[in-house]
Chain A
Amino acid sequence: MLTSDESLIEKLLAEQQSLTAVERFSQKYVRTQGHSQQRYYRDLIPLSRPQTGEQYAFAVDLDKCTGCKACVSACHSLNGLDEGEVWRDIGLLRIAEESVAYQQTVTTACHHCLDPACAEGCPVLAYEKDEETGIVHHLDDQCIGCQYCTLKCPYDVPKYNKKRGIVRKCDMCHQRLAVGESPACVQACPSGAIAIQIVSQEALRKNLQPGDRLLPGAFDSNYTRPTTSYTGARPANGHPADGGKIRVEHAHWPLVFMLVLTQAAVGVFVVNGLLLHQPFANLVAFVFLNLGLGLSVLHLGQPLKAWRAFLGWRKSWMSREIMAFSAFAGLASVVTGWGYLKLLPFSLPVFLQRLTIPLTWTTMILGLVAVSTSCMIYVDTRRPFWSLPMTFLKFFGATFGLGLAIAGLGKPSFTLMGCALLLTVSLLELSLLRNSALEKSRAILYGPLASLQWARALLLVLALCSAVSPLVAITALLLAQLIERTCFFMAASAHRMPGGI
């Protein structure tokens, strides 16, 4: 019999909060060891461990993949990943010609490459290609969150986890493989389309032909030598469903400021060292430099671990850049201070005075080397927009353009030269942009970023017109360069595996 209204509401609200599944239905579900799913994936993982010269690899049978995407969800759930985090992606291949109707879902994760670009780029050696299994591990506690690997990987595999301040990626569920269980994606595929196989690294290397790629639209496999194999009938003219799609990339604000400010600083030291010899200009540059380097730390997810950044110097341009700029900053501080030594009440001993020129030149050269390492960081990603000519043009254009304008503070002729140089650079950029490989970057620059292009152009013209008022001109030039650098990142269309609609 129902009691009064009020008490029924209370009773039902309380009842709603009491969970009953365990007491009522858990008796059947006893604690059992092992993995009950094993019967479904027994044939999908190797029986033995890889021998010397062999490694594990994903094998995807596209004929079996029907597009359910369970592999992605299972990867997320069974690996306990953070909200929204997945280590597997889904794409779609299709044919746009009228005569053939074709679509094929593709599933893709880390390819555990023979020559992983992520590992090559990492400044702190946070990647390790396992000697026995060939699995490319990411050492989460080593990572400083610089995200360079996310730019380096041509398959868009490592993903930055903002909450943790580090990158994470697929580890082929190596802990499962070690106990004879299958990776999450393998055990969750309803049609058994994903398997783990053992491949010979030597054979893989030998069998690669020029121009080989994993799938239409994927990057040339000769770069990192990915180990995943995609089998199944597929037409030659299939291409990624997201082929024509414009994706505006991350702006990386701290890097924008870091690059523009450090390049301006190097430029001032060089222009000043060669032509003007004004201590105050060096001081300004020194402030710029430290501001730039300071801001760059904001880009790191784990700045306190950044001291390890020298570890990767053998391969990583990021490591080299950090070392070069550290050395440059040290010398720059000496040179800046040197300029003010004459303020001292006594004059310097002759042997010290003789050091001025070598010191200045070493600083200038080291500065230019440091800017070159900055360039190489981007060139080394093999993104078409970050080609060697484009990047060197932009970075050294900024170096000398801003250097002239700022070092010549108060000298309209220098400001004018700086403006003219940067205008020339922007025109040269336009001609480089006509390259057919830059279709996507063009689409971004002239599409969603069109207003930024106009703003940059206007600022350059404004700077040119106001060269007599150097402060206005310099501000305009700096703003123009910050815009240029923002676009440098946002329009650098990344290489990816085929994506979806």
Chain B
Amino acid sequence: MKFITKHLRAWEGPLTSDLVQHPGEFGLGNIPRQLTPDATTTVVCGFCSTGCGLRVHLKDGVAINLSAETDYPVNLGMACPKGWEALTPLHSPDRATSPLLKNPATGRLEPVSWDQALDVFCSRFQSILTEHGRESVAWLGTGQIPCEELAFLGALGKFGMGLIHGDGNTRQCMSTAATAYKESFGFDAPPFTYADFEQSDVLVFIGANPCIAHPIMWQRVMSNSHHPEIIVLDPRTTETAMAATQHLALQPKSDLTLLYGIAYILVSKNWVDLDYIGNHTTNYPAFAEFLQTFDTARVANVTGLTIEAIERCAKTIGQGQRVSLWWTMGVNQSHEATRTAQAIINIALMTGNMGRPGTGANSITGQCNAMGSRLFSNTTNMLGGHDFLNPVHRKKIASILNIEDASIPNKNSLPYDQILAGIESGRIKGLWIVATNTAHSWINQSWARTTLAKLEFLVVQDMYGNTETAKTADLVLPAAGWGEKEGTLINSERRFGLMKKVSRAPGLALSDFNIFRLIAQRWGCGEMFQKWTSPEAAFQIMKELSRDQPCDISGIRDYQMIDDCGGIQWPFAQGSEPLPQVERRLFEDGKYYHSDGRARFIFEPTRPVAEPLDAEFPLVLLTGRGTSAQWHTQTRTGKSDILRKLYPANIYVEVNPSDAERLKIKANTQIFIRSRRGKISATAYITSTVRPGQIFIPMHYPELNQLTFPAFDPYSHQPSYKYCAVTLETVARLGLQRKLAHRN
């Protein structure tokens, strides 16, 4: 036997040696020999707003692999699967490698030169503008590209091309938080730093599932050494709810009532910080008065919770020493979203849980640069968080950019939903979409697609030429993606992180920044952007734009400084201490950005949902993130074999067992989901993590938004993706059932 073992068994050889590891240096420990880098550098991740540092392994300057950055203060050596796979989508065969122009004869997109693409771009938009005026062309931007590119796009659109209307997909995720903060604090200023996750003794998550949506933030919660109470307000038993000490599974869209109900108990039990209220806020007496109608019995009735559960939650908050409240899309995507976010802010204010470690009313952002979009996209706000309606602001920006005051519109952009409405009514005839996928992600999708089809000219600028939206474009501009260009991204805790150029863009793809340069020149406004020669040059302009604003970053020297510090949170004004502290939170002095220095209590009676249930459509459709391996419309995560292994390939619907039994729905069979706007089929997944009367479908599957109802928050104009009325239908015919099963 020993003879056999020794001589007839191949212990070594070419296949074995492919997996042989050796010390990778750069602190990487053992790594496979063929992946040995000759340098490494840290790049901030380009998926979500956590803003993790990824250590990219380079060989001859090109990224060959990556791992999580050990020392980056955000993620402390960890990353979620999307981060680990960040390089993979860059090499997809679906990349757009040259400009594509629709051939009117065939209706197909065909490759053209940049020269021709620029000609078409400028001549078509210019002719529409000449004929129909400045409001007839608009753009829809994104939270996925760096600040410098967003600022360039915004300045080019409004000051160079003379457009009035531009908005971004951040309307779909963060506009509620931005609106709420602006009204409550006087500036769009998420106050927290991630260390707060570790320092709280009570953490309240409202409409948030960080275990799945922000796993690396959840890592910080897990490392909280204070044995915190974790309260989750969510209709579903999400992964986060599973990890909670208190889960309040409230009825969908009863969150505002519940939050007012909690505030009512806090007031009536005197669990409020009257000193803080007196010194740092206004309008509290009216708020306390308003709360009187939210007695616990009524709140229990509306929310479907027990009085005990509500009282226990309020008591935990009221008696906590360091209470932090965190929210995301469950709050932001609602018909009364802004007031709900403000109800959270109110709780933090009234209990004095602001400005101290482990406290705060904290909006967790969605996209990697939603925060940058909020400050620098020149859409809702003027560059640097300024106001288009304020002549002093217009003058300031004009003088920094060295342009005429008159080049700056003195009116606000239309929000996303109104831009689409403008297309439908024929007022807007040209649209430029940059790095977003409207035809997949917009609410009431069939309407959105019909509306886009009405455009005279649609330009889509994207990494991929085959997104649902790009396929409908007249012109596709091929963009370089994350890792193929430089720029800064701002994460949820206001930290500027640096994106670096570590991979070559395919074919003729160009960074969005350089596409804007080309357009500026061809449009005839190149002169205006003479100083915008590189992202870092644009960053220097951004510093000036931010000066004396709450988001002042004039103290950040350059990219090198951001890199050296592991990211830098705003504000960091010129004249600040030589190096910023690693983690800083806002409002430690209790001074808010309103002119009186005080935060406002803002509230409003609750309103019924826009599409109530009825006999024909008796179920609530909830939507949200499916898994940590999926990102939004999957244009990138769908390109990674590894990520695809980590989520179901086809659309599925979660149904409660009692509903399944009543409707005779069998597990893993195809069923139809019908709303007033459409009908789709999905695999039934029977689980009690959704309550009876509710179903859940992840947002990543393109069919989903055929069902959703176009309700919007009146203040933030954010779509309410989280509630619409639907019904379930089983597939009656066995043959069809089999056919559908087979297709999956």
- CA of A235 to CA of B25, assembled, Å: 45
Stretch in B61-69, B159-167, B315-323, B345-353 with 4+ CB within 8 Å of A: B61-69
- CA of A73 to CA of B45, assembled, Å: 15
A244 in complex: contacting residue of B16, B243, B510, B667, CB < 8 Å:
B667
B306, CB-defined interface residue at 8 Å: no
B642 to chain A, nearest CB (A): 5
Given contacts A37-B77, A103-B242, A140-B15, A12 and B514 within 8 Å (CB-CB):
yes
Q: Would A164 and B34 count as touching, CB distance under 8 A?
A: no
Q: Would A94 and B687 count as touching, CB distance under 8 A?
A: yes
A294, CB-defined interface residue at 8 Å: no
- Within 21-39 of B, Cβ neighbours of A (below 8 Å) are at 21, 23, 25-32, 34-35, 39
Q: Would B657 and A96 count as touching, CB distance under 8 A?
A: yes
Q: Would A22 and B29 count as touching, CB distance under 8 A?
A: no
- CA of A361 to CA of B592, assembled, Å: 99
Given contacts A5-B521, A188-B68, A29 and B514 within 8 Å (CB-CB):
no
Measured between beta carbons, the chain A residues less than 8 angstroms from B39 are 22, 26, 29
B77 in complex: contacting residue of A23, A25, A40, A84, CB < 8 Å:
A40
**Nearest-CB residue, chain A, relative to B238:** A103
**Nearest-CB residue, chain A, relative to B654:** A501
Q: Would B688 and A500 count as touching, CB distance under 8 A?
A: no
- CA of A78 to CA of B118, assembled, Å: 43
Stretch in B210-218, B284-292, B441-449 with 4+ CB within 8 Å of A: B210-218
- Within 425-470 of A, Cβ neighbours of B (below 8 Å) are at 447-448, 450
Measured between beta carbons, the chain B residues less than 8 angstroms from A168 are 19
A347, CB-defined interface residue at 8 Å: no
Q: Would B668 and A245 count as touching, CB distance under 8 A?
A: yes
Q: Would B646 and A90 count as touching, CB distance under 8 A?
A: yes
B658 in complex: contacting residue of A35, A39, A73, A98, CB < 8 Å:
A98
- CA of A289 to CA of B31, assembled, Å: 48
B530 in complex: contacting residue of A2, A69, A142, A448, CB < 8 Å:
A2
A202, CB-defined interface residue at 8 Å: no
Measured between beta carbons, the chain A residues less than 8 angstroms from B518 are 5, 8-9, 12
A68, CB-defined interface residue at 8 Å: yes
B522, CB-defined interface residue at 8 Å: yes
Q: Would B563 and A98 count as touching, CB distance under 8 A?
A: no
B511, CB-defined interface residue at 8 Å: yes
B14, CB-defined interface residue at 8 Å: yes
Given contacts A70-B84, A95-B688, A191-B219, A141 and B242 within 8 Å (CB-CB):
no
Measured between beta carbons, the chain A residues less than 8 angstroms from B42 are 25, 29
A32, CB-defined interface residue at 8 Å: yes
Q: Would A73 and B688 count as touching, CB distance under 8 A?
A: no
Residue-wise, chain B 295-314 has the 8 Å CB interface mask toward A (1 for contact) of 00000000000000000000
Measured between beta carbons, the chain A residues less than 8 angstroms from B559 are 24-25
B146 to chain A, nearest CB (A): 14
- CA of A104 to CA of B501, assembled, Å: 39
Q: Would A8 and B67 count as touching, CB distance under 8 A?
A: no
- CA of A78 to CA of B33, assembled, Å: 11
Measured between beta carbons, the chain A residues less than 8 angstroms from B147 are none
Contact residues of B: prevailing secondary structure: mixed
B13 in complex: contacting residue of A40, A141, A447, CB < 8 Å:
A141
Residue-wise, chain A 24-51 has the 8 Å CB interface mask toward B (1 for contact) of 1110111111111111100000000000
Q: Would B29 and A34 count as touching, CB distance under 8 A?
A: yes
A304, CB-defined interface residue at 8 Å: no
- CA of A241 to CA of B239, assembled, Å: 14
Measured between beta carbons, the chain A residues less than 8 angstroms from B242 are 102-104
Q: Would B628 and A36 count as touching, CB distance under 8 A?
A: no
B744 to chain A, nearest CB (A): 10
Residue-wise, chain B 258-294 has the 8 Å CB interface mask toward A (1 for contact) of 0000000000000000000000000000000000000
Residue-wise, chain B 640-655 has the 8 Å CB interface mask toward A (1 for contact) of 0111011110001000
Residue-wise, chain A 169-181 has the 8 Å CB interface mask toward B (1 for contact) of 0010101100101
Q: Would B115 and A22 count as touching, CB distance under 8 A?
A: no
B709, CB-defined interface residue at 8 Å: no
Residue-wise, chain B 212-246 has the 8 Å CB interface mask toward A (1 for contact) of 10011011001000000000000001011111000
B197, CB-defined interface residue at 8 Å: no
Residue-wise, chain A 351-366 has the 8 Å CB interface mask toward B (1 for contact) of 0000000000000000
- CA of A24 to CA of B43, assembled, Å: 13
B145, CB-defined interface residue at 8 Å: no
A128 to chain B, nearest CB (A): 8
A345 to chain B, nearest CB (A): 47
B736, CB-defined interface residue at 8 Å: no
Of the candidates B12, B81, B222, B667, the one having the most CB atoms from chain A within 10 angstroms of its own CB is B81
Stretch in B3-11, B130-138, B372-380 with 4+ CB within 8 Å of A: B3-11
Measured between beta carbons, the chain B residues less than 8 angstroms from A90 are 646
B222 to chain A, nearest CB (A): 5
**Nearest-CB residue, chain A, relative to B514:** A12
Measured between beta carbons, the chain B residues less than 8 angstroms from A1 are 530
- CA of A447 to CA of B666, assembled, Å: 14
Q: Would A190 and B218 count as touching, CB distance under 8 A?
A: yes
B76, CB-defined interface residue at 8 Å: yes
Measured between beta carbons, the chain A residues less than 8 angstroms from B13 are 140-141
Q: Would A500 and B648 count as touching, CB distance under 8 A?
A: yes
Q: Would A33 and B25 count as touching, CB distance under 8 A?
A: yes
- CA of A292 to CA of B5, assembled, Å: 31
B688 in complex: contacting residue of A37, A66, A102, CB < 8 Å:
A102
Q: Would B67 and A16 count as touching, CB distance under 8 A?
A: no
Q: Would A37 and B237 count as touching, CB distance under 8 A?
A: no
**Nearest-CB residue, chain B, relative to A83:** B641
Q: Would A31 and B26 count as touching, CB distance under 8 A?
A: yes
B242 to chain A, nearest CB (A): 6
A442 to chain B, nearest CB (A): 15
Measured between beta carbons, the chain B residues less than 8 angstroms from A74 are 67, 84
**Nearest-CB residue, chain B, relative to A245:** B668
Measured between beta carbons, the chain A residues less than 8 angstroms from B646 are 69, 72-73, 90, 500
- CA of A28 to CA of B564, assembled, Å: 8
Q: Would A175 and B20 count as touching, CB distance under 8 A?
A: yes
B685 to chain A, nearest CB (A): 5
B508, CB-defined interface residue at 8 Å: yes
A52, CB-defined interface residue at 8 Å: no
B502 to chain A, nearest CB (A): 5
Q: Would B79 and A103 count as touching, CB distance under 8 A?
A: no
A274, CB-defined interface residue at 8 Å: no
B78, CB-defined interface residue at 8 Å: yes
Q: Would B510 and A21 count as touching, CB distance under 8 A?
A: no
- Within 1-21 of A, Cβ neighbours of B (below 8 Å) are at 1-2, 5-6, 8-9, 12-13, 15-17, 19-21
B303 to chain A, nearest CB (A): 17
A246, CB-defined interface residue at 8 Å: yes
Q: Would B81 and A67 count as touching, CB distance under 8 A?
A: no
Residue-wise, chain A 366-380 has the 8 Å CB interface mask toward B (1 for contact) of 000000000000000
B505, CB-defined interface residue at 8 Å: yes
A2 to chain B, nearest CB (A): 5
B41 in complex: contacting residue of A2, A29, A164, A501, CB < 8 Å:
A29
B211 in complex: contacting residue of A35, A66, A142, A176, CB < 8 Å:
A66
B444 to chain A, nearest CB (A): 26
Q: Would A448 and B741 count as touching, CB distance under 8 A?
A: yes
B618, CB-defined interface residue at 8 Å: no
Of the candidates A86, A190, A192, the one having the most CB atoms from chain B within 10 angstroms of its own CB is A190
Measured between beta carbons, the chain B residues less than 8 angstroms from A308 are 8
- Within 138-163 of B, Cβ neighbours of A (below 8 Å) are at none
- CA of A175 to CA of B20, assembled, Å: 8
- CA of A244 to CA of B657, assembled, Å: 14
- Per CB-CB distance, the 10 closest pairs between chain A and chain B, nearest first, are A35-B29, A141-B13, A80-B32, A84-B641, A73-B84, A36-B27, A68-B215, A190-B219, A101-B237, A141-B10
What are 19 A-B pairs at a CB distance below 8 A? A21-B56, A21-B500, A33-B23, A36-B70, A40-B70, A40-B77, A76-B84, A76-B642, A77-B66, A77-B84, A77-B85, A78-B32, A80-B31, A80-B32, A96-B667, A101-B687, A141-B13, A166-B15, A501-B648
| Beyond known contacts A66-B215, A67-B215, A190-B215: 6 more, CB 8 A cutoff | A9-B118, A22-B58, A72-B81, A78-B32, A84-B645, A173-B30
